[in-house]
């Protein structure tokens, strides 16, 4: 079994925020792959299903971003999972909008949700960073991530979320390089035909 975590803040006030792209991604995965109805558990909402041959529990922590580790820690202790079987999807300001990077382990890079999870389960879990772009000024980061995506962002946001959902099984199969490549290709427009 794998634990697939999408990070965000609960409530309609935050639903369209850049900081909630993790929630958006796992919502799309749950719908695309016919997972169970969401229910409350582990300080969050969970949905169960399969990706490829792996049983997966999807978790959206409802603790607010800064305390995401409470939910993730409770879930892996109850499920008796190693951190290596946890995949976390979240926003990354240091990536251009629409870019995706996946890696096992690492630091928090200023992301409070990741800092909280690492404090509860250690750093050795898979991180799926979805680029939301940088506002250009350090003092604008907080309002940037806590504001909604612009209408113009739909050009890359919808295809990104669709591709993440389409190829999600590769994450639990451990083929992160192919996942990154397929998502990248899905977002790259086809060259014009001559």
Nearest to 112 by CA among 154, 147, 70, 172: 70
Can you tell me whether residue 92 is helix, strand or coil? strand
Please state whether beta strands 2-6 and 86-92 pair in parallel, antiparallel, or not at all (unpaired): parallel
143 near 150, Cβ under 8 Å? no
- The residue whose two tokens read 């750093």 is 123
Point out the catalytic residue in the list 19, 33, 111, 144: 19
Give the span between the Cα atoms of 127 and 116, in whole angstroms: 13
Catalytic annotation on 33? no
Query: Any bridge partners for residue 6, and if so which?
Result: 89
Interior angle at CA 86, CA 26 and CA 124, nearest 5: 135
| Residue 153 DSSP code | G
Helix spans in the chain (H): 21-32, 68-79, 112-121, 141-145, 154-166, 169-172, 176-187
Q: Give catalytic residue positions.
A: 19
């Amino acid at each position: 079994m794998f634990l697939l975590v999408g990070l965000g803040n609960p409530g309609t006030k935050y639903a369209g925020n850049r900081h909630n792209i993790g929630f958006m991604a796992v919502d799309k995965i749950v719908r695309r792959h016919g997972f169970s109805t969401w229910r409350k558990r582990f300080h969050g909402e969970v949905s169960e299903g399969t990706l490829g041959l792996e049983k997966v529990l999807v978790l959206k922590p409802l603790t607010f971003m800064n305390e995401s580790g409470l939910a993730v820690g409770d879930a892996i202790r109850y499920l008796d999972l190693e951190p290596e079987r946890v995949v976390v999807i979240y926003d990354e300001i240091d990536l251009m909008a629409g870019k995706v990077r996946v890696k096992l382990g690492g630091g928090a890079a200023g992301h409070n949700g990741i800092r909280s999870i690492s404090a509860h389960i250690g750093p050795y879990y898979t991180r799926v960073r979805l680029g939301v772009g940088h506002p250009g000024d350090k003092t604008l980061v907080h309002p940037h991530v806590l504001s909604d995506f612009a209408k113009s962002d739909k050009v890359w946001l919808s295809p990104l979320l669709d591709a993440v959902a389409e190829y999600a099984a590769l994450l639990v199969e451990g083929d992160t390089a192919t996942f990154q490549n397929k998502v990248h290709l899905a977002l790259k427009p086809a060259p014009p035909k001559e």
